[in-house]
Amino acid sequence: MKIRQLMVLALSCLCQPGWAGLMASGTRVIYQEGTPGQTLMLANTNVWPVIVQSWVDNGEGDPQNTTAPFVIVPAVFRLDASARQGIRIIYNQSPLPKDRESVFWLNLYEIPPQSVTQPTSPRLALTMNTQMKVFYRPAGLPASPDALLGKLTFRLINDDRQWFLECRNPTPFHISFTALSLERSGHTWEAESQVDMMASPYATHRFRLQGQTPPDATSTVHYRYIDDYGSVNSRDARLSAD
């Protein structure tokens, strides 16, 4: 899940930084084909009310031009301080691939009052857009993402004197990494962090390795990934020879 600061609504003297106060009951949504909808609970942790606008898109963060096949009920509502509200995510039956997952982004746009006064000091009031992934999972896909992790293959790529760790994902699931590295005899090569370290189904993804020392081809791959429940888990793998 990521948070994008969109614009400043109000600024008072001696302001303190603002942050999103809208909390969701999960960090991702797994939408199984055939279900009537998915419910996500939201809580306003601010001490002021907010207006919430929610929609699903392809990551643009713009509700005006979205073509994503989901609707949110309610799409716009007021959420009082410390209150909770459920939203319903409903698939509109537009055609999607049957042989793999599709991924979209749920946006939770939080609009506070134009002026916010704390009991002790004034503060900055910001609109915030919290985004989380929505995975549409067709019926009939084999096993589960965790059960197929052993099918991932990794190999070293040298491209214009820069080393990359390439992951090939032959499964129908998206694999969301949080970190990858190579380790051999106490030496570690870390992959550079990316905004979205996700390997798509039936595709390859390259991760640039840090440092100038050539990686050892007999290194062990260590990676951390996010499961269906939003938990981060660790796994090891061997480098492929081809």
CATH entry 2.60.40.10 includes domain 19-114+125-137: yes
Would you give the end-to-end CA distance of the chain in angstroms?
A: 34
Burial 170-179 (b: 16+ CB within 10 A, else e): ebbbbbbbee
Share of the chain above pLDDT 90, in %: 77
pLDDT greater than 90 at residue 205 = yes
pLDDT at 126: 74
Q: How confident is the model at residue 161 (pLDDT cuts 50, 70, 90)?
A: confident
pLDDT greater than 90 at residue 29 = yes
pTM of the entire predicted model: 0.86
> pLDDT tens digits, residue range 210-232?
987 889 899 999 999 999 999 99
d(CA 26, CA 105): 13
pLDDT at 20: 64
d(CA 101, CA 136): 6
pLDDT greater than 80 at residue 134 = yes
Cβ contact 10:115 at 8 Å? yes
pLDDT greater than 70 at residue 5 = no
Averaged pLDDT score across all residues of the chain = 89
All CATH 2.60.40.10 domain ranges of the chain, comma separated, are: 19-114+125-137, 149-238
CA within 13 Å, CB half, 241: 0
d(CA 25, CA 160): 45
pLDDT at 15: 33
CA within 13 Å, CB half, 108: 30
Cβ contact 88:95 at 8 Å? no
pLDDT at 80: 97
pLDDT at 121: 54
Tokens in use for 57? 């898109």
Which superfamily does CATH assign the domain made up of 149-238 to?
Immunoglobulins (2.60.40.10)
pLDDT at 12: 29
d(CA 95, CA 155): 35
> pLDDT tens digits, residue range 86-127?
999 999 999 999 999 999 999 999 999 876 555 555 555 678
Cβ contact 77:58 at 8 Å? no
Tokens in use for 55? 């929609």
pLDDT at 125: 62
As beta bridge partners, residue 23 has: 43
Query: No. of H helices and E strands in the chain?
Result: 0, 18
d(CA 32, CA 195): 26
pLDDT greater than 50 at residue 17 = no
| Stretch among 10-14, 113-117, 118-122, 128-132 having the lowest mean pLDDT | 10-14
pLDDT at 212: 74
